[in-house]
Amino acid sequence: MLLSLSPHSVENNCSMSRALKTLRVVQWAMLASILLYGILGEVLGPRARAVDPNLNYLFSTLGVAIVGVIFVVRRTLVLRAASSLALHPDDLISLHHWRTGYFASYALCDALALFGLVLRFMGCNFQQSVPFYIGGFVLLFFFKPREPVRESTS
What is the count of structural domains for the chain? 1
Residue 7 located in a structural domain: no
The reported pLDDT for the residue numbered 14 is: 75
Report whether 95 contacts 15 (CB < 8 A): yes
Residue 116 located in a structural domain: yes
The reported pLDDT for the residue numbered 90 is: 84
Residue 148 located in a structural domain: no
Residues 102, 98: Cα–Cα separation, whole Å? 6
Listed as ranges, residues in the chain with pLDDT below 50 are 1-10
Contact partners, residue 51, CB within 8 Å, separation at least 6: 119, 122, 123, 124, 128
Report whether 27 contacts 145 (CB < 8 A): yes
The reported pLDDT for the residue numbered 88 is: 86
Q: Enter the pTM of the model.
A: 0.84
**Distance between terminal CA atoms of the chain?**
25
Residue 123 located in a structural domain: yes
Report whether 106 contacts 32 (CB < 8 A): no
Report whether 83 contacts 98 (CB < 8 A): no
Tens of pLDDT, residue by residue over 100-136, are 999 999 999 999 999 999 999 998 888 989 999 999 9
Residue 152 located in a structural domain: no
Residue 153 located in a structural domain: no
> Which residues span the domain enclosing 35?
12-142
Residue 31 located in a structural domain: yes
The reported pLDDT for the residue numbered 70 is: 95
Residue 5 located in a structural domain: no
